[in-house]
Amino acid sequence: MIETGLLAGVALDALAGDPRRGHPVAAFGRAAGALERRLYADSRTRGAVFAGLCVLGAAAVGVAARRRTALVTWAVLGGTSLAREGLAMGRSLESGDIEAARARLPHLCGRDPSALDEKELARATVESIAENTSDAAVAPLLWGAAFGAPGLAAYRAINTLDAMVGHRSSRYERFGWAAARTDDVANWVPARVTGLLTVACAPLAGGSPRAAYRVLRRDGARHPSPNAGRCEAAFAGALGVRLGGVNVYGTRTEYRPELGDGRAPEPGDIRRAVRLSRAVTLASALLAAGARLAVRR
| Domain of residue 228, residue span | 2-296
Tell me the C-alpha distance between 274 and 263, whole Å. 18
pLDDT at 216 over 90: yes
Q: What is the model's pLDDT at position 114?
A: 87
DSSP 257: E
Under the banding of pLDDT at 50, 70 and 90, the label for residue 297 is low
Dihedral of the alpha carbons of 172, 175, 176, 177, in degrees to the nearest 10: 120
pLDDT tens for each residue of 98-143: 999 999 999 998 888 888 899 999 999 999 999 999 999 999 999 9
Estimate to the nearest angstrom the gap between the alpha carbon of 269 and the chain centroid: 19
Q: What is the model's pLDDT at position 154?
A: 97
pLDDT tens for each residue of 230-285: 999 999 999 999 999 888 787 778 888 999 999 999 999 999 999 999 999 999 99
Average pLDDT score over residue span 20-47: 91
Distances in whole angstroms, Cα of residue 27 to Cα of each of 33, 35, 77 = 10, 13, 15
DSSP 241: B
Single pTM value for the model: 0.93
Residues, the chain: 297
- The helix/strand/coil state of 246 is strand
| Ordered alpha helix ranges (H), the chain | 2-16, 24-39, 44-64, 69-76, 79-94, 98-104, 118-133, 139-165, 172-175, 177-201, 209-219, 228-239, 267-296
**What number of other Cβ atoms are within 10 A of residue 141's Cβ?**
31
pLDDT tens for each residue of 87-96: 999 999 999 9
Is pLDDT larger for residue 160 or for residue 292?
Answer: 160
Q: What is the model's pLDDT at position 33?
A: 95
Under the banding of pLDDT at 50, 70 and 90, the label for residue 293 is confident
Distances in whole angstroms, Cα of residue 105 to Cα of each of 85, 114, 263 = 9, 10, 21
Q: Count how many domains the chain has.
A: 1
